[in-house]
Structure 1
Amino acid sequence: MIGWDDVYKLIASMFPLYFALILGYGSVKWWHLIKPDHCGAINQLNCYFIMPLFTFDFASRINPYKMNFRFLVADGISKSIVLVVILLWAKFSSKGNYRWSITSFSLSAFNNTLVVGVPLMHAMYGPLGENLVIQASILQLTIYMIILLVMYAFWSVNESLDQEVGPNDQLETDLEGNPNEDSMTRRPSLLIVLKVVGIKLAKNPNTYASVLAVSWAFVANR
């Protein structure tokens, strides 16, 4: 049974995070200490420096030789079930599409494990809970997040090509009424799309941080 002491631990673990969020919101909305155009620079600082270092710090603590593989398999099965449900929705629903499928999967299957999950699980279950949520975050960062980025990259490439070509370019014909080969939409080869995806992944610092952290943990705990 959850007691008042457990509630206090949860509030104490979450208060610093939400206090920082309220300060950030108030600095822009109420006190005007930070201008809206400065938020982009702050987001880039978080994306390219703070979050990768934060991820490396937590992921490097784990012992990869003593991971709870039953828990990780259960996490993978739950994500697979969510993915199947979303694919069925996209196939049989008139409102289903590729973009909403990616967004729905990311919202349903992914969670903020490090920033929110670590303090919550540590407050409720101690070091065991913290260890499990870090294991889930490693799998999410090194496997599932990369797959999600690949899906986003594929969608982005196809969307940009559709905008560049336009719907009228596919309707041009020659004097005999046959489709003009020069004006027809030419989809890129799989190799070109994979190259674009690889470039996008190479620019993501969180990918490097998670892979380096796992490598460091393997060496440190061998």
Structure 2
Amino acid sequence: MITLADFYHVMTAMVPLYVAMILAYGSVKWWKIFTPDQCSGINRFVALFAVPLLSFHFISSNDPYKMNLRFIAADTLQKIIVLVVLAIWSKLSKRGCLEWTITLFSVSTLPNTLVMGIPLLKGMYGEFSGSLMVQIVVLQCIIWYTLMLFMFEYRGARLLISEQFPDTAGSIVSIHVDSDIIEDFSFGNRRGLESNNNEGEKVGDEKPKAMPPTSVMTRLILIMVWRKLIRNPNTYSSLIGLVWSLVSFRWNVQMPAIVAKSISILSDAGLGMAMFSLGLFMALQPRIIACGNSIAAFSMAVRFLTGPAVMAAASIAVGLRGVLLHVAIVQAALPQGIVPFVFAKEYNVHPDILSTGVIFGMLIALPITLVYYILLGL
């Protein structure tokens, strides 16, 4: 059972993050310290430096040879189920699109395991649950955040084609991508993309209803996504962190102190900077609930009801029982993760929804997880 000391530990983990967020909010809204361009620069620093080093820290310090495979399988199956359902929905529904697929996947399956999960679950179920939360964080960094980046870049490639060839996209039969095209994905860069068409260039009012053939799209997207991912620090931090953990825990190799301290300087500030970026984003919005009340309520329902329900089904399917099943469900009911917001802001895909999920999710997370904890214990 959670004691007052456990509750204090949870507050100790949460309150400093809210301090960082409030300071950032005030620095824009009240004190006018940062401009919108400077806020974007801070978020980019978080996405390209603080978050990758934070991911490296947790991946490299986790023992990959002692992971609970059944628990990991349940978490993986939950995310696969959600992805499959969202993919079917995006194909069959008129409202379905890649942007909402990315957002709903983030909201339903990527909780705030690091900040809330570790102290809260330790208080509920003991020290062993903290190790399980670290394992979830490691998989998020290695697999699911990388998958999100891939989907973001896939979306960027599609938008680039539709904007570069608005009148002739459907007739393109081949595309050559120059290396310069990946320098800028805000679609202001028009250089380095050439196409061959079945027909001559057509100028008119009617827009094509089809994208280029699948083979052309696939080749372009894979080229552009690959070039972006290999230049993204998050990719290298996950890969290097995994390799280091495999080596260090296999042969008991210690990281040189000078390297470890260099990494810790930024990794320790990763979550704080992410919350600071969140506060900056809030201050630039006309209202705190940036996405609106109805969408906020919908996202909260997806986060705290759909996510745990799918996790419960996935956990039972892989054979989790007893305390492990309870831990899996409660961690799925944690609030929205901070890192997905950083990515959403960087790629401008529903950052208002993700910011609302982080802010209000963390406010109501404790009573909600306590309800799950009590119900599962009956």
Tell me the TM-score normalized by structure 2. 0.51
Judged with a 3 Å threshold, the aligned counterparts in structure 2 of structure 1 residues 169 and 41 are, in CA distance, closer, same or farther, namely closer
- Contact kept? 1:56, 1:213, Cα under 8 Å: yes
Task: Verify: 1:215 aligned to 2:240, yes or no.
Answer: no
Separation in 1, partners of 2:33, 2:120:
31
Unaligned runs of 5+ in 2: 172-196, 203-210, 251-378
Separation in 2, partners of 1:52, 1:119:
22
Secondary structure of the residue that 2:32 maps to in structure 1?
Answer: coil
Aligned to 1:19: 19
After superposition, the CA RMSD in angstroms is: 2.6
Aligned to 1:36: 36
Unaligned runs of 5+ in 1: 172-178
Shift, 1:221, TM fit = 0.7
- Contact kept? 2:113, 2:133, Cα under 8 Å: yes
Counterpart of 1:144, as a letter, is W
Shift, 1:181, TM fit = 1.2
- Contact kept? 2:13, 2:119, Cα under 8 Å: yes
Judged with a 3 Å threshold, the aligned counterparts in structure 2 of structure 1 residues 218 and 168 are, in CA distance, closer, same or farther, namely closer
**Aligned positions of 1:201-212 closer than 5 A:** 201-212=229-240
Tell me the TM-score normalized by structure 1. 0.83
Aligned to 1:181: 199
Shift, 1:168, TM fit = 7.0
**Aligned positions of 1:84-163 closer than 5 A:** 84-125=84-125, 127-163=127-163
Shift, 1:97, TM fit = 1.9
Separation in 2, partners of 1:131, 1:122:
9
Judged with a 3 Å threshold, the aligned counterparts in structure 2 of structure 1 residues 93 and 193 are, in CA distance, closer, same or farther, namely closer
Aligned to 2:221: 193
Aligned residues: 215
- Contact kept? 1:9, 1:124, Cα under 8 Å: no
Worse-matched range after superposition: 85-94 or 203-212: 85-94
Separation in 2, partners of 1:142, 1:100:
22
- Contact kept? 1:58, 1:114, Cα under 8 Å: no
- Contact kept? 1:170, 1:183, Cα under 8 Å: no
- Contact kept? 2:58, 2:134, Cα under 8 Å: yes
Identity of aligned residues (%): 40
Separation in 2, partners of 1:169, 1:217:
46
Aligned to 2:297: none
- Contact kept? 1:169, 1:183, Cα under 8 Å: no
Judged with a 3 Å threshold, the aligned counterparts in structure 2 of structure 1 residues 193 and 87 are, in CA distance, closer, same or farther, namely closer
Worse-matched range after superposition: 208-217 or 184-193: 184-193
- Contact kept? 1:56, 1:210, Cα under 8 Å: yes
Separation in 2, partners of 1:44, 1:207:
15
Counterpart of 1:102, as a letter, is I
Shift, 1:54, TM fit = 1.6
Shift, 1:192, TM fit = 3.1
Counterpart of 1:33, as a letter, is I
Aligned to 2:165: 165
Worse-matched range after superposition: 149-158 or 66-75: 149-158
Worse-matched range after superposition: 3-12 or 69-78: 3-12
Secondary structure of the residue that 2:241 maps to in structure 1?
Answer: helix
Shift, 1:117, TM fit = 3.4
